[in-house]
Chain A
């Protein structure tokens, strides 16, 4: 027999916190509909035109009633807004210790790469009870990474990074879709998410459960870093024309405009492609743009390498 459920199986912390709101809304809207129907039917019959009744037309001035239901509606609307927004906040706010996985969408497949370089296509293996943060981009059109069991979805844009995080709560296999219409084979662009015990995930990462052999992302990133000569400017000492990159990821820096920016993948990406847009305070906008010079893949490697650079306390101390 068909296993019918209104909402799909829930398998993430977000799904667990958001499902009560769905049920509240279903009951609220369903109740509203039933009340409207009941009143229409009851009055529709009770007050139908009958020749034997002479009921003069009713001209009410129910200003208090109007104001009352307006106020009640506004309060309900704002209440629902607050409830939903608190959840939305949670869906945005990734924990710092989240496992970083990168996702690349292209017509019509998902390419996924794990921190150690392990790759897979249209499948995503993640450990249970561990926060996971996906950094996503697209090679062509807009896609949208959608896992119904997690109640999460995020558009994946070309030439830009978007992120999404989740903490799976139940091991198992869940469907994965592309939700943003992306061309001919849009409906085939999907796959499966495998939520595994952490030990099983660790074993899978070592290549014991299929998946393509890992390549060394950091080595590739380092080669680019050297080839492009990033260190020529981003270095301590007299040649210090750009901010030091060691340990900069995750810090908060002040811009020339006075605004502060958290240095994340997106900001690093922007600084490489459009360096003069937001410049760190104390530096001149000297850096040339690397737009159209790097493949998305290369950019990801380069950023991964910059992120891996350890903070060099000594070097900074010397400058001072």
Chain B
């Protein structure tokens, strides 16, 4: 490859002809990965749609017990993390590894904040007050006690089954993202990224935005049922 410069060559894996080919492959691969993620969550959305149609009353009752305020705060937190991630991609492209590192720290911190809010104000209080489907189902306490009066307890449990599974699956995707972010932070510290080499950050950015978008769907589906 006499036409490609040496500097560029160093970042190109041996089986690619050019950096351009490598970039094209990486981008296409990431989009295909997201396509399979869409189908993965699509199956869950399908299940959600069917059971919501079957149990409209339970969905109303279940949704009324979620705090739109907490959900809204979390939505904001996540959107902010998407913004810092987008900044990170920009800094990676311009080769500003120091600012990229800071952007990743901010994104990670916001992600952790999201999970912390979710645990502290949503999962744990519900679990403690019996709003957890299965053998120990039995809402009580002044927050959730009224749920015990809902006639369609089966439907209500189904609402919370899907609530835990779908938000849990979303949180799992975030936690996987945290791991990748740490790796990227280490690489940023080593001044790895630059105009020739930023695909890893860009592709992770796509992933992070996707996870964000999933939440943007989950929020109205669970919190804003009217």
Report A's interface with B, CB cutoff 8 A.
274, 276-277, 285, 288-289, 291-292
Query: Any chain A CB within 8 A of the CB of B24?
Result: no
Contacting pair A292 B154 (CB below 8 A)? yes
Contacting pair B154 A291 (CB below 8 A)? yes
Report B's interface with A, CB cutoff 8 A.
53-57, 151-155
Contacting pair B154 A277 (CB below 8 A)? no
A292 to B139, CA, bound (A): 18
A277 to B152, CA, bound (A): 11
Contacting pair A291 B152 (CB below 8 A)? yes
Contacting pair B56 A277 (CB below 8 A)? yes
Among candidates B55, B151, B155, residue contacting A288 with C-beta atoms closer than 8 Å: B151
Closest 3 CB pairs of A and B: A288-B151, A276-B57, A289-B152
A292 to B155, CA, bound (A): 12
Closest to A291 in B: B154
Kindly list chain B residues whose C-beta atoms are within 8 Å of the C-beta of A276. 56-57, 152
* A293 CB, min distance to chain B CBs, angstroms: 10
Kindly list chain A residues whose C-beta atoms are within 8 Å of the C-beta of B54. 274, 277
A289 to B155, CA, bound (A): 11
Closest to B152 in A: A289
Kindly list chain B residues whose C-beta atoms are within 8 Å of the C-beta of A288. 151
Contacting pair A274 B151 (CB below 8 A)? no
Counting chain B CB atoms within 10 Å of each CB, which of A276, A285, A288 scores highest?
Answer: A276
Kindly list chain B residues whose C-beta atoms are within 8 Å of the C-beta of A289. 151-152
Secondary structure type dominating chain A contacts: loop
Secondary structure type dominating chain B contacts: helix
Kindly list chain B residues whose C-beta atoms are within 8 Å of the C-beta of A277. 53-56
Kindly list chain A residues whose C-beta atoms are within 8 Å of the C-beta of B154. 291-292
Contacting pair B57 A285 (CB below 8 A)? yes
Can you name 15 extra interface pairs (CB under 8 A) apart from A274-B54, A285-B57? Answer: A274-B55, A274-B152, A274-B155, A276-B56, A276-B57, A276-B152, A277-B53, A277-B54, A277-B56, A288-B151, A289-B151, A289-B152, A291-B152, A292-B153, A292-B154
Closest to A285 in B: B57
A289 to B151, CA, bound (A): 6
* B146 CB, min distance to chain A CBs, angstroms: 16
* B149 CB, min distance to chain A CBs, angstroms: 11
A285 to B151, CA, bound (A): 12
Kindly list chain B residues whose C-beta atoms are within 8 Å of the C-beta of A285. 57
A200 to B54, CA, bound (A): 45
Kindly list chain A residues whose C-beta atoms are within 8 Å of the C-beta of B53. 277
Kindly list chain A residues whose C-beta atoms are within 8 Å of the C-beta of B57. 276, 285
Closest to A287 in B: B151
A217 to B53, CA, bound (A): 33
A289 to B54, CA, bound (A): 12
A5 to B153, CA, bound (A): 54
Kindly list chain A residues whose C-beta atoms are within 8 Å of the C-beta of B152. 274, 276, 289, 291
Kindly list chain B residues whose C-beta atoms are within 8 Å of the C-beta of A292. 153-154
A277 to B153, CA, bound (A): 15
* B155 CB, min distance to chain A CBs, angstroms: 8
Closest to A276 in B: B57
